[in-house]
Structure formats: structure tokens, C-alpha cells
Amino acid sequence: MNRCGLWMAVLLVAGAAVAAAQDVDTDYQALQDAVNKKDVATIKKLAAETSALARQEIAKPGDTADPDAAKKRLDDLHAIDTYTEYALYATAAQSEAPVMVDLIATLEKQNPKSKYLDLGYGPYLAALAKTGAAAKIPETAEKALANFPENPYLLDPLSRNAASHGQNDRTIAYSTRLIALWSSHPKPPEGLSEAEWNRERDATLGPSYYMAGMAYAATSHWVDADKNLRAALPYAKGNPTTNANALFQLGIANYQYGKMTLNKARVLEGAKFSEQAAAIPSSVSQQAWKNAQVMKAEADHMR
């Protein structure tokens, strides 16, 4: 190649790099404008395009003699790429369920580990239910849990799904993970009031104690059943069916443990819980009353 041809090739490469940088910056500005206008179709299109361009330049940065400028450009490109994810999440959070489902699914494809998915999965799964796609929730949650193992809004539907299918081991695994998660975060994060934090926690913590307790009872783990069902009672008071079932199984758990350990006090504790369950109109009230009589009679023969 002659010198003229060599210079032409250099100029073409440099020109392409400048054009690519201009495309990223131009698309970035256009994306911000679309977010401000809440233009969903444009946001979805530009988020994907801008991210692809930014990642392309990150992978093959242009030559520069100024290392500080090169670092700043790289930082800017990462920030632009992150903004494309924010644009999808922020728009989804303000949209009706069908649009939210579409935008969060788009974000999942763009970056399944995006920090904004960790924030968005709760409303996203709720939106799936609203759009008639509730059957997709367990599979979606299970897949997402690999990237966000401490997300309560993923663990909760997995616990409920396992419980509804009688999968006791899976119910215990997911429920106890969720209980441990809430226990490790006793205070609300910055920006969330204590009332909001308590409401979010209680919505999944109470059911987790209940599901774990019932699964432990179903597998004859009486001590763990007793522990979890006792913890569930304060949350179950507003639901007569749940309250009655928890008390019913508490009666059985304490009775069985009392018999195993020859502990009369625990047998009587089982009778007490059974009588409380019998006092609540439910499908188990009659059997709970019968259980209480058997337990008290057996306690009478114990020392």
C-alpha cells in the first residue's frame, strides 16, 4: 500500500470511530428526551440501540494519546449503558401492566443481571398476573433467582407455588430462605419508611412462617413445625382459615412431640391449641375438638 493509501485507511478508521461515538451520544440524548416524553416505543428502541453501541465502543475503544480522556470516555460509556437499563425500568414502573411486562422483559434480555431488575421483579410478577400470565411466574422467578438469590419477591411466589403443589422440601427451602433474609435486614433501607418496610416484610414473612410450619408438620418434623407455626400466629389472626389451620397443626405437633418425649405439659399444650382451633368456624373445627378430647384423656394417664 502506498503512503497515500495508508493515510486514507487511517482516516477511514478514525472517521468510523468518531461516527460511532457520535451515534452513541446522539442516541443517548434522544433516549433521555424520550424518557422525559414517556414515549414508550422510542424508549424501547433506543435503549437497545444505545446499549449495543456503548458496549461496542467499550469492547473496542478508539485510540487516544490521553489516558485520562480515555478513562473518562470509558466511564461515560458504562454510565450510558446503565442509563439504558434505568430508562426501561423507570418507564415500566410508571406504566400499566401490559407495558410493564413488555419493558421488563426487554430489560431481562438486555441485561439479566441489571440492578434495576432486582427492584422491578416484584411489580413485574404482579403485572404478569394482571395480564393473565400468572402461569409464567414460577418459571420466571426461578430463572431470576440465580441472579438475585436474596430477592424476597422471587422467593415468595416460589414458596407459594411449591406449597400449592405439596412439594414440602421445596416449600421449606424457599420459605426458610425468605425468613432468614428478612431476619438479616431488621431495619428499612434508606428512602423507605418504617411503615412501608413493615408492610412489605409482613406480606411475605407471615406466610413464609405458615408455609414452612405446615410443610414441617406434613413431614413430621414436630419441633420445627411448632417453632414456625407459633411465629405465624400473629400474622394469621386476620385470616380465620389460616389461623385455624395453624392452631390445628400446632395442636398435633405439640401432642406428638409430647408423646415422643413423655412430656405431659406439651401434650396439654397440644390440647390447648386444638381447643383454640375448634373455636374458629372452619373445616377443621370439628376434628380439632375431637383431637382436644383425645389429648386431654391421654394427658390424664401421664405422670
Q: Does 103 have pLDDT greater than 80?
A: yes
Specify the pLDDT at position 63. Answer: 66
Specify the pLDDT at position 21. Answer: 52
Specify the pLDDT at position 174. Answer: 98
One-letter identity of residue 298:
E
User: Tell me, what DSSP letter sits at residue 109?
Assistant: H
Instruction: Give the pTM.
Output: 0.84
Q: Show Cβ contacts of residue 28 under 8 Å, excluding neighbours closer than 6 positions.
A: 50, 54, 80, 83
Q: State pLDDT tens for residues 233-263.
A: 999 999 999 999 999 999 999 999 999 999 9
Residue matched to cell numbers 419493558 = 103
**Euclidean distance between CA atoms 271 and 228, whole angstroms:** 18
The answer to whether 145 touches 155, Cβ cutoff 8 Å, is: yes
User: Tell me, what DSSP letter sits at residue 150?
Assistant: T
User: Tell me, what DSSP letter sits at residue 188?
Assistant: P
pLDDT interval class at 200 (50, 70, 90): confident
Length of the chain counted residue by residue: 303
Q: Does 6 have pLDDT greater than 60?
A: no
Dihedral of CA atoms 121, 122, 128, 131 in degrees, nearest 10, equals -130
Specify the pLDDT at position 64. Answer: 67
Q: Does 13 have pLDDT greater than 70?
A: no
pLDDT interval class at 39 (50, 70, 90): very high
Q: Show Cβ contacts of residue 78 under 8 Å, excluding neighbours closer than 6 positions.
A: 54, 58
Q: State pLDDT tens for residues 135-192.
A: 999 999 999 999 999 999 999 999 999 999 999 999 999 999 999 999 887 777 666 7
The answer to whether 258 touches 294, Cβ cutoff 8 Å, is: no
Please provide the DSSP assignment of 30-51 as one string.
HHHHHHHHT-HHHHHHHHHHHH
Q: State pLDDT tens for residues 23-37.
A: 899 999 999 999 999
User: Tell me, what DSSP letter sits at residue 263?
Assistant: -
- Taking CA atoms, 183 is separated from 33, 178, 205, in Å, by 42, 9, 9
- What are the two backbone dihedrals, phi and then psi, of residue 253, each rounded to the nearest 5 degrees? -60, -45
Give the lowest-confidence range in 8-22, 33-47, 220-234, 281-295. Answer: 8-22
Q: Show Cβ contacts of residue 33 under 8 Å, excluding neighbours closer than 6 positions.
A: none
Cell of residue 202, nine digits: 409482613
The number of beta carbons lying within 10 Å of the beta carbon of residue 77 is 22
Q: State pLDDT tens for residues 180-194.
A: 999 887 777 666 788
Residue 218 parent element (H or E): helix 194-218
